[in-house]
Chain A
């Protein structure tokens, strides 16, 4: 099943990695895909490392286990690189996307010789610029869409606009900022 894409998210409790995985599932669903979006629940508390997963396919998905050999890994918080083996099982034909301001060589060192593609993005800067607060999950969501090519930028932005209108029905003033965060992230995610 070559059309199955598996993604693993690493974040810290409160950063929205779970929400991002659900939004990605939503967006892929809206472009006609079969999807799974699920978090791995542990002891939940602010700041604790958490993992979330996505499967996206053109065929129905029956497997119901965690993902051990992902095509992509998204790291929402680069402090996790020192404590969590984020590249465990990650396919070398795949890629890892990290929210970081560290330079390329430093990141490579932290990834213990991972041979696949490495991308970085400064989600904090984008989030502060567009939302005035630190919500790294929105830029990271755009970054994984860009890198994995699950859908086109246009499809993604159109769909997210609809989602945000629904999600932020009671505070429409944040919709533009969130859209701006996505647009900037699509442009700024860079391969190192």
Chain B
């Protein structure tokens, strides 16, 4: 039945890591994810886990230590945010290319500069093409649940890719909310033991990891990575099914909220989805058929499935919490539109860049987006596809 608790998103993530009890955690503190390694190092000191905690001198070293540990045959985890992830950049690609199923808790924050410690998704979007699986979490519960499912997905032999669980910095990482935890023994059984097929400390089967890979091979290796990302889709759903049996909580590629009969829909990720649900409930009371599609799995991107779920709506707004600064549109928007186009759906779809640098996204902001969508349905035309929400000096 689970354990009724109240935890912040960071506490929930650290608790998941405690229950997973990985072999190695290597991390360097950075706001707003600092509390995760802080709490975890307490668990290490108290003997509540038998993890080797490596207090490195930088995030580049944190990821390097995770790569070394994972390549040796150990289960490794880390946590970071924003500029910490930026400093890992080189090793992020190496982790995925070496097919090392490291799991990271990424507490989303704006990448500098100018310096900002608050939430947006520019850190996650910066590594969206790096070959990491990316799961997004609306609240502390989902941050916790996604971490519990993470190793089963990443370590699956058809996948072998690193995975990051994202949640919104401060908004969920520092907010105390109700949560249902799973008992320790059940988590242990669900996650299972890590049994890598190939690893450096296997003295019967000596191997090299990460040697020179030039014109004759790198392309094939990248092709295999791409295939692994496709395979991850099935594994993510299979693991979610087992998770539902354990907890009753259902997860897919995305969550549909009142989308069945919706005429207008918002697509977004993380905590804003909760505010959208709150707003949709109020709009429904007024007879406005608003709905939500909350993306949980951003990499691999379920473009076809998203298009199928949106096929009956009359107008769509995709909300990006990171600006691609490309004079074209945000990353989530472009991916959603590609999915719609491939399904030959020409539904008017607009993009809003919002919440940059922690700008608060209110229920009124969400309502404004739905009002804009109603107008698009009524007028049958879109003036501008690439818009901003909640920024000063803009119409």
**Cβ-neighbour of A35 out of B6, B117, B274, B363 (below 8 A):** B6
Given A64-B139, A64-B168, check contact A41 B174 (CB 8 Å): yes
Report how far A41 CA is from B277 CA in the complex, Å. 25
A-facing mask of B150-175, CB < 8 A → 1, else 0?
00000000000000000010111011
User: Which B residues are CB-close (under 8 A) to A66?
Assistant: 360, 362
Check if B176 sits within 8 Å of A64, measured CB to CB: no
Determine, out of A22-30, A118-126, A172-180, the stretch whose residues face the partner at the interface.
Answer: A22-30
Q: How many residues of A contact B (CB 8 A)?
A: 20
A1 → B minimal CB distance (Å): 8
| Size class of the contact patch on chain B | 20 to 34
Question: Among A55-63, A129-137, A138-146, which stretch is in contact with chain B?
Answer: A55-63
CA distance A34 to B171 in the complex (A): 17
Contact A62:B174 (CB < 8 A) given known A29-B6, A68-B362: no
Residues of B within 8 A of A39 (CB): 174
B252-274 Cβ-contact flags toward A at 8 Å (1 or 0): 00000000000000000001101
Contact B361 A22 (CB under 8 A): no
| B118 close to A41 (CB less than 8 A) | yes
CB B179 to nearest CB in A, in angstroms, measures: 10
Is B341 on the interface with A (CB-CB < 8 A)? no
Q: Determine the distance from Cα of A61 to Cα of B179 in the docked complex, in whole angstroms.
A: 11
A68–B364 Cα distance when bound, in Å, is 10
Q: Given A25-B6, A29-B6, A35-B6, do A65 and B176 touch, yes or no (CB 8 Å)? A: no
Is A99 interfacial (CB-CB < 8 Å)? no
Q: Is A38 an interface residue (CB 8 A)?
A: yes
Is the pair B174, A36 in contact by a Cβ cutoff of 8 Å?
Answer: no
Q: How far is the CA of A61 from the CA of B277 in the complex (A)?
A: 10
Q: Is B242 an interface residue (CB 8 A)?
A: no
Q: Is A37 an interface residue (CB 8 A)?
A: yes
The reply on B247 being an interface residue by CB < 8 A is no
For A63, the closest partner residue in chain B by CB is B278
Contact in complex: B175, A37 (CB < 8 Å):
yes
List residues of chain B with CB within 8 A of the CB of A36: 175-177
Bound-state Cα–Cα, A5 to B387, Å: 34
The chain A residue with its CB closest to the CB of B257 is A62
Compute how far the CA of A23 lies from the CA of B285 in the bound complex, rounded to whole angstroms: 34
Those of B347-395 within 8 Å (CB) of chain A: 360-363
Q: Are A62 and B274 in contact (CB-based, < 8 A)?
A: yes
Instruction: Please state if B6 and A65 are interface contacts (CB–CB under 8 Å).
Output: no
- A22:B363 contact, CB within 8 angstroms: no
Contacts of B274 in A (CB 8 A): 62-64
| Max chain A C-beta neighbours (<10 A), residue from B171, B277, B278 | B278
Task: With CB as the reference atom, state the residue of chain A lying closest to B117.
Answer: A41
* Cβ contacts under 8 Å, B117 to chain A: 41
Asked whether A29 lies within 8 Å of B178 as measured between CB atoms, the reply is yes
Does A34 lie within 8 Å of B178, measured CB to CB?
yes
Say whether B278 contacts A38, CB under 8 Å: no
Give residues of chain B (122-144) contacting chain A, Cβ–Cβ below 8 Å: 138-139
**A46-87, CB < 8 A from B:** 60-66, 68
Given A26-B6, A29-B6, A41-B118, is A61 in contact with B177 using a C-beta cutoff of 8 Å?
yes
Name which of A26, A39, A61, A65 has the most chain B CB atoms within 10 A of its CB: A65
**Neighbouring B residues of A29 by C-beta, 8 Å:** 6, 178
Instruction: Indicate if B275 sits at the interface (CB-CB under 8 A).
Output: yes
Q: With A and B bound together, what is the CA distance between A25 and B8 in angstroms?
A: 11
What's the nearest-Cβ distance from chain A to residue B115, in Å?
Answer: 11
CB distance from A75 to the nearest CB of B (A): 21
User: Which of A34, A38, A66 gathers the greatest number of chain B CB atoms within 10 Å?
Assistant: A38
Residues A63 and B6 in contact in the complex (CB < 8 Å), given A36-B176, A41-B117: no
As a 0/1 sequence over residues 274 to 290 of chain B, the CB contacts with chain A under 8 angstroms (1 = contact) are 11011001000000000
The 10 closest A-B pairs by CB, nearest first: A38-B175, A62-B274, A64-B271, A63-B278, A37-B176, A29-B6, A62-B277, A64-B274, A65-B362, A25-B176
Listed in ascending order, the chain B residues whose CB lies under 8 Å from chain A are 6, 117-118, 138-139, 168, 170-172, 174-178, 271-272, 274-275, 277-278, 281, 360-363
Q: Can you list 15 A-B contacts with CB-CB less than 8 angstroms, sorted by A residue number?
A: A1-B281, A25-B176, A29-B178, A36-B176, A36-B177, A38-B174, A38-B176, A39-B174, A61-B177, A62-B274, A62-B278, A63-B274, A63-B275, A64-B172, A64-B272
